[in-house]
Amino acid sequence: MGSFATVLVLLIGLLVVIGAAVKIYDVKRKREIEAVHLQAQVSDALLRDSNLYSLAVTPTAHVPWSGTPARLEISGRVTEPRLREHVLQLAEKEAQRIRPDVVVVDRLRIEDEVKVARVA
- Beta carbons within 10 angstroms of residue 57's beta carbon: 24
**To 5 degrees, how large is the angle CA 36–CA 41–CA 44?**
120
At the topology level, CATH places domain 33-119 in: Histidine-containing Protein; Chain: A; (3.30.1340)
Q: pTM of this prediction?
A: 0.76
Type and span of the H or E element at 77: strand 71-78
The domains of the chain are located at: 33-119
pLDDT of amino acid 103: 94
**3-class DSSP state of 67:** coil
Strand partners, 72: 61, 104
Whole-angstrom distance, CA of residue 64 vs CA of residue 33? 12
Low-confidence ranges of the chain (pLDDT < 70): 1, 67, 113-120
pLDDT of amino acid 96: 93
